[in-house]
């Protein structure tokens, strides 16, 4: 199946604002000429817990050991499998574009997933059209995690990961450079500004494929 909306990964160290961005994006974006909201926020951590896609709970780190195969099998039918190529691409396939156009904004296989999780390299490259890595000053991040009641070892681990840019490195190592963008998520207005940028990217993605 060919998706009609891009799949977007919103990732970053815990505390960088993934869920806030994902929720606002899914509730704000509407295609041209429509009032619907076809993007679907997938809180991956919540799905893992609700569906039992884990092998054990790690007490020391207060986190789950995820069964990635079960998780991927669960989400695969929603991804749209492949993205249509841009109309000016050498690989453009008019049949694929027509298939995408024929989908309604309610079709389960339309794509439009907003995958909200602290890691990104688990997702197959064919699923992913854009990876947004949220970044935050580590001192701000420390305060946020303290307010969430994280144990000290988790605060230290996540703070170090943000300083080292672990999630950003994983994204760059897992997906094409043109599919990865880092956005700052620190000040009060950053969320709205970032979501506006992502929506502009979605509009451009659909226009380039003749879907709008």
| 15 labelled ligand-binding | yes
Helix (H) or strand (E) holding 180: strand 180-184
23 is in an annotated binding site: no
> 144 among the known binding-site residues?
no
Coil vs helix vs strand at 30: coil
C-alpha to C-alpha distances, 198 to 72, 112, 143, nearest whole angstrom:
24, 13, 27
Which two three-digit tokens encode residue 29? 């974006």
For 6, 22, 124, the CA distances from 69, given in Å and listed in that order, are: 22, 24, 11
| CA–CA distance, 170 with 165 (Å, rounded to integer) | 9
Task: Tell me if 18 is assigned to a ligand binding site.
Answer: yes
C-beta of residue 111 within 8 angstroms of C-beta of residue 105: no
Given phi > 0 = left and psi -120 to 50 = alpha, else beta, which region is 52? left
Is 19 annotated in a binding site? The answer is: yes
As a whole number of angstroms, the distance between CA 44 and CA 129 comes to 18
147 is in an annotated binding site: no
Q: Which residues are annotated as a binding site for ATP?
A: 15, 17-20, 148
Q: Which residues are annotated as a binding site?
A: 15, 17-20, 148
């Amino acid at each position: 199946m060919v998706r009609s909306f891009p799949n977007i990964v919103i990732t970053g160290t815990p505390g960088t604002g993934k869920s806030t961005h994902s929720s606002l994006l899914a509730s704000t974006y509407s295609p041209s000429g429509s009032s619907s909201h076809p993007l679907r926020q997938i809180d991956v951590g919540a799905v893992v817990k609700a569906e039992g896609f884990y092998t054990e709970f790690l007490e020391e780190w207060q986190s789950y050991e995820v069964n990635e195969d079960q998780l991927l099998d669960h989400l695969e039918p929603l991804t749209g499998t492949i993205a249509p190529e841009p109309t000016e691409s050498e690989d453009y396939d008019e049949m694929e574009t027509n298939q995408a156009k024929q989908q309604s904004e309610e079709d389960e296989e339309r794509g439009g997933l907003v995958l909200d999780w602290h890691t990104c390299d688990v997702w197959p490259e064919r699923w992913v059209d854009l990876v947004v890595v949220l970044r935050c000053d580590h001192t701000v991040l420390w305060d946020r995690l303290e307010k969430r009641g994280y144990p000290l070892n988790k605060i230290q681990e996540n703070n170090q990961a943000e300083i080292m840019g672990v999630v950003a490195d994983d994204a760059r190592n897992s997906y094409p450079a043109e599919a990865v963008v880092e956005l700052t998520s620190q000040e009060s207005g950053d969320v709205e500004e970032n979501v506006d940028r992502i929506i502009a990217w979605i509009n451009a993605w659909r226009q380039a494929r003749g879907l709008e």
